[in-house]
Amino acid sequence: MVNIKKVSSKADLKTFVKFPFALYKNSPYWVPPIIKDEMASFDQAKNPVFQNAEATFFLAYKDGKVVGRVAAIINWIEVKEQNLKKMRFGWFDFVDDLEVSKALLDKVEEIGKQNKLDYMEGPVGFSNLDKVGVLIEGFDHIGTMITWYNHSYYQSHYEKHGFVKEKEYLENKFPAANADPKMFHKANLLVKKRYGLREMNFENSKDIMPWVDKMFDLFNGTYSKLSSFVKITDVQKEYFKKKYISFINPEYIKFVVDSNDDMVAFAIVMPSFSKALQKANGRLFPTGIFHLLKARKESKDVIFYLIGIRPDYQSKGVTAIIFNEYHKTFTEKGVVNCIRTPELEDNVAIRQMWKHFGPVTHKRRRTYRREL
């Protein structure tokens, strides 16, 4: 028999966060989060997303052991402002037991019905900057700090419980050597001259901070038409500014501005922390922090985290400026592989942007939907 327990204490929450450490203990591909950071992201007093969202966390027990977990989430901006009556769920992990996964999903459904929502979709996080999608292809590739990894049996559980595909995401990679400057150096010069644009590069994080709000405004404007989009609020901007921007290599953040210093494009790349996080195994101390700092400085793999172009500058070749700057940075740092974060399968514009780099789709992931 499966018993479902609502997380109601800090000890419960730590059990929730640590469950995947046991589930994926022997996996060479799973990338553990930092336990302290994961705990903080679920803390209503620390994460401003809870000003516009709510979450209930559940643990599944069988024979006295933890066998699964799920977060049931309602984003009220999505429900009230976008009139999208969606019951979200994420951080959904479980042993290969249909009784376990069903019991957890039943709790999510129960909350959705109580709030008169129309359907449930997952796995998703609170917002567009959270992890998304269950992995359905690419189980033999190492994960990243910004994606979920899962066992191959997860997909069948969704489908046996009556879920259908809602959205599909592709993850692509290409060798940095494929970024031949012949493709974009000349275009970079032409585009800058034609539109009066200039690139902005940084050496210190403090110099980036005055521009971050503009970057998030541009992010909201760029991605607002995507089916999965929920805007980033002002308080979330401050949260992400403190949590992430100061940790990302400043030389990996690129902006493009016009003659009035208005931002028209941005891009954020991160060094891959996957192997460093595996070595840290959830803890910054005593040695985890050193593995992360070493990866920040020396990693030869990078992840294209975000890229955004103001709508009125899309299809005008602005990416040539961004790629030209990254080519110089990657050459200097000896970057070998470029990995892209999950992108919606139906986002044709993003595929067109990368087509000349010879990308290979190495992972696919999906969100699933079921009516309530």
CATH of the domain at 308: 3.40.630.30
The beta strands (E) that lie in 164-273 are given as: 164-175, 198-200, 253-257, 263-271
Which pLDDT does position 180 carry in this prediction? 86
Which pLDDT does position 227 carry in this prediction? 64
Say if 213 falls within a structural domain: yes
Q: Are residues 55 and 200 in the same domain?
A: no
The CB density around residue 63, as the number of other CB atoms within 10 Å, is: 8
Given 112, 141, 171, which residue is the final one in a domain? 171
In sequence order, what are the beta bridge partners of 85?
none
Containing structural domain, residue 130? 2-171
Report the distance separating Cα 296 and Cα 147, nearest Å: 18
Q: CA angle 308-310-311, nearest 5°?
A: 115
Q: Are residues 181 and 166 in the same domain?
A: no
Give how many domains the chain has, as a whole number: 2
Residue with token string 């999505």: 78
Say if 368 falls within a structural domain: no
Which pLDDT does position 201 carry in this prediction? 96
Given 128, 147, 171, which residue is the final one in a domain? 171
Q: Are residues 43 and 181 in the same domain?
A: no
Report the distance separating Cα 220 and Cα 308, nearest Å: 9
Q: Are residues 344 and 230 in the same domain?
A: yes
CB-CB contact of 176 with 336 (8 Å) = yes
Which pLDDT does position 228 carry in this prediction? 64
Q: Are residues 226 and 138 in the same domain?
A: no
Say if 366 falls within a structural domain: no
CB-CB contact of 31 with 143 (8 Å) = yes
Tell me the two tokens of residue 106: 């039943």
**Residue 352, amino acid:** Q
* Strand 337-340 to 164-175 pairing: antiparallel
* Strand 119-122 to 134-137 pairing: unpaired
Give the helix/strand (H/E) hosting 278: helix 274-280
CB-CB contact of 372 with 109 (8 Å) = yes
Say if 304 falls within a structural domain: yes
In sequence order, what are the beta bridge partners of 121?
88, 369
Say if 369 falls within a structural domain: no
Q: Are residues 64 and 48 in the same domain?
A: yes
The CB density around residue 142, as the number of other CB atoms within 10 Å, is: 17
Q: Are residues 120 and 218 in the same domain?
A: no
Say if 305 falls within a structural domain: yes
The CA R_g of the chain, rounded to the nearest whole Å, is 21
Q: Are residues 164 and 224 in the same domain?
A: no
Q: Are residues 8 and 150 in the same domain?
A: yes
Q: Are residues 64 and 25 in the same domain?
A: yes
Report the distance separating Cα 108 and Cα 124, nearest Å: 13
- Please identify every stretch of the chain with a pLDDT value under 50, giving residue numbers as ranges: none
Given 171, 190, 208, which residue is the final one in a domain? 171
Q: Are residues 286 and 343 in the same domain?
A: yes
Give the helix/strand (H/E) hosting 18: helix 10-23
Which pLDDT does position 236 carry in this prediction? 87
Say if 367 falls within a structural domain: no
* Terminal C-alpha separation, the chain: 25
Q: Are residues 131 and 195 in the same domain?
A: no
Say if 370 falls within a structural domain: no
Nearest Cα to 22, choosing from 68, 70, 80, 83?
Answer: 68
The beta strands (E) that lie in the chain are given as: 2-6, 53-62, 65-75, 86-94, 119-122, 134-137, 164-175, 198-200, 253-257, 263-271, 301-309, 337-340, 343-344, 360-371
Helices (H), ranges, 162-265: 185-195, 205-223, 234-240
Which pLDDT does position 368 carry in this prediction? 98
